[in-house]
Amino acid sequence: MKKPVFYHAGCSVCVSAEHDIINLIGADHVEIVHLGNDRTKIEEAERAGVKSVPALVTPNGNVLHINFGASMEDVKK
């Protein structure tokens, strides 16, 4: 089964959500993508439907936006 992907930009809201996701799902069961560190993944996140981070993309393609840390436009700056 494909893993869910958690996208974030490293802000305090994102890091807090990352810790919660890892505690809920387990680090081995989710792919973590820090868009501030890996800017090549920004386009991938947008194609998946991510409008703001933090966001979790489920294996079947649903995007779960968690709190509001930053818009994708802010991430691209």
Q: Quick one: which of 74, 70, 75, 4 has its CA closest to 35?
A: 75
Q: Name the pTM for this structure.
A: 0.92
With a cut of 70, say whether residue 1 has pLDDT above it.
no
pLDDT, mean of residues 73-77 = 86
pLDDT, mean of residues 53-61 = 96
Q: What is the DSSP code (8-state) at residue 4? A: P
The ranges assigned to domains in the chain are 18-51
How many Cα atoms within 13 Å fall on the side-chain side of residue 63?
A: 16
Categorize the per-residue pLDDT at 70 as very low, low, confident or very high, splitting at 50, 70 and 90. Answer: confident
pLDDT, mean of residues 18-39 = 95
